[in-house]
Amino acid sequence: MNDVQTPRDPALSLAAAAEVSTPPSSGGRRRFGLTGGAAWGIAAGLFLLAEAVVAVGAPIFTAANPLTGNLEYRLLAPGAPGYLLGTDQLGRDVLARMLYGARISLVVGVVAVAIAGSFGVLVGLIIGYRGGWLDKILSQVIDAQLSFPFMALALSIAAVLGAGLAGIVITLAISSWVLYARLVRGEALVTRRQEFVEAAHALGVPARRILLRHVLPNVLGPAIALASLEAGRLIVAEASLSFLGYGIQPPIPAWGNMLAEGKDYMARAWWLTVFPGLAVSLTCLSTTILGDWLTELFDPRRRR
């Protein structure tokens, strides 16, 4: 007598296949954001952390003065006794100038991002939640500023404010706050239509409390991811402005003005431009990788 086989439900078969093909630990990795480029994101974050530690502890890692040099030891190649990365055209230690220059770049990146992010998030929250005529006016201002090339706008503002650390920080903050305002405005427009926000509003909860307790936590994640991406761009912008003479002025070491001083010696002393350029590139790459991972972490639509 032939056995009668009961047909199986195709949906159950697919579910069983999915259970077999899915590793047991993948759910945990996905839950904690350890999929995709997480390893690269963590590595980039550790690199930036190490860079910050080295910059803050520059006097510990080198005893050389980045501002003074000895012309008898000018343009020594990397590996010379007592000069790991060589010396520049004035006999100054390149390693010391690199470490102290990292302070400038990181301070500019962090402070400018903090100022621009705080102001942009505040503006985006208000106009996104309130709407009305204020939203229309500020949205036009944001769109008008975004239509200008970033570096052209930064150069124009820097020419007015003047060179120096404070001037470059304010310049970059003014040039970049609109990105946060536009992002947060869009997120706030979506969040204010959610049921929990409408319920709080119907119960008479003050608008300030709704913004701080309900809307802000939902827009903070994308804003943090944008801040990480923007930090690298602002560090490159600071180096560019310093290279053009509108940023940090010599003899204060900064990666941008080190590139400007070393460009005339590229044929004889390649290390004067290679090391600062490599530092700027690696820092920008690390912030980009970290920001992309944070964007994936905070945006469920990009998770796989």
* Domains, the chain, ordered by start: 106-304 (1.10.3720.10)
Query: What pLDDT was estimated at residue 272?
Result: 95
Stretch 271-281: mean pLDDT, rounded?
95
Stretch 46-75: mean pLDDT, rounded?
92
Higher pLDDT, 298 or 12: 298
Query: What pLDDT was estimated at residue 20?
Result: 38
Query: What pLDDT was estimated at residue 36?
Result: 53
DSSP string, the chain: -PPPPPPPPHHHHHHHHHHHHS-TTHHHHHHTT-STTHHHHHHHHHHHHHHHHHHHTHHHH--S-SS---GGGTTPPTTBTTBTT-B-TTS-BHHHHHHHHHHHHHHHHHHHHHHHHHHHHHHHHHHHHH-HHHHHHHHHHHHHHHTS-HHHHHHHHHHHH-SSHHHHHHHHHHHHHHHHHHHHHHHHHHHTTSHHHHHHHHTT--HHHHIIIIIHHHHHHHHHHHHHHHHHHHHHHHHHHHHHTSSSPTTS--HHHHHHHHGGGTTT-THHHHHHHHHHHHHHHHHHHHHHHHHHHH-GGG--
pTM of the predicted protein model: 0.80
Q: Of 65-69, 180-184, 270-274, 295-299, which gets the smallest average pLDDT?
A: 295-299
pLDDT of 78-127, one tens digit each? 999 989 999 999 999 999 999 999 999 899 989 999 999 999 999 999 99
